[in-house]
Amino acid sequence: MNFSLSDVSEKGKSIRSLYNIFFEHYGPQGWWPLEILKEKGSNGYHPGDFSFPETSKQVFEIGLGAILTQNTNWKQVEKTLSNLKEKTDLIPENILKADVEDLKAWIKPSGFFNMKVKKIILFTKFFISLEGKVPSREELLALWGVGEETADSILLYGYKAPVFVIDNYTIRIFKRLSGKNEKLNYTDLQNIIFKAFKNMPLKEKVVVFSEYHALFVKHAKEYCRNKPLCNGCILREHCLY
């Protein structure tokens, strides 16, 4: 599996192979974690169960999580969601009824609470206005504070849309595999992955995209860190770093 960022057909083959290597090694990740599953005794994740989200409330929670996780780690987001669950039951209308200063205090663990409280309020109003409709990517991107990664996370994990989420972990791993420090554009890299799975049935594509993004994160945290742990890495024989 040699990565060549200049040859699309080879990219497709390599990208599919990379998914198989990740999945065989790490197994299903069960993203997106939900508070309701924690109440039932799990850690919030649901590996192998793609029935979630099951309710509009869970879709809303995923949207909140996608916004709150900007510029922070998930452990801090979990603290925030736990606060919001306790104070508002994660009901959109309750979020809007809450005092802004209280909201800031509840979301403080996620950092940047002055900006994030504004983002959350705007998203909540938008979510209510949808009345159950699936938003377009353009509508999400039009919201202040919602960028491509956040919008695609909401669409993939909240609405089961066949979009692929690109994040810094994805870019880091592709750069190291290719041995090139070239700038990777979000849209270009996303389109390359789309092409690799273009003939896959829609429902299967959603499952693969959901797992693949989570697997990139898993591998980046396990081995492909800022300072990589190359010894023992499952991609060592394929990597040009």
Q: Is the peptide bond before 92 cis (omega within 30 degrees of 0)?
A: no
| pLDDT score of 182 more than 80 | no
Rg (CA), the chain: 18
- Tell me how far the alpha carbon of residue 186 is from its chain's centroid: 14
| pLDDT score of 7 more than 60 | no
Interatomic CA distance for residues 10 and 238, integer angstroms: 14
Interatomic CA distance for residues 78 and 65, integer angstroms: 8
- Tell me how far the alpha carbon of residue 184 is from its chain's centroid: 18
Average pLDDT of the residues in 206-234: 97
Confidence at residue 12, expressed as pLDDT on a 0 to 100 scale: 62
Confidence at residue 6, expressed as pLDDT on a 0 to 100 scale: 45
Specify whether the CB–CB gap between 12 and 196 falls below 8 A.
Answer: yes
Specify whether the CB–CB gap between 95 and 124 falls below 8 A.
Answer: yes
Average pLDDT of the residues in 37-41: 88
Neighbours of 85 (CB within 10 A): 17
Neighbours of 180 (CB within 10 A): 15
Q: DSSP letter at 133?
A: P
Q: DSSP letter at 157?
A: I
Helix (H, G, I), strand (E, B), or coil: what is residue 165? coil
| pLDDT score of 90 more than 50 | yes
List, in order, residues 6 or more apart from 127 with CB less than 8 Å away. 60, 63, 92
> In this predicted structure, which of 7-11, 112-116, 133-137 has the lowest mean pLDDT?
7-11
Confidence at residue 230, expressed as pLDDT on a 0 to 100 scale: 95
Average pLDDT of the residues in 138-156: 98
Whole-model pTM: value is 0.94
Neighbours of 141 (CB within 10 A): 14
Confidence at residue 185, expressed as pLDDT on a 0 to 100 scale: 87
Residue 9: pLDDT band (50, 70, 90) is: very low
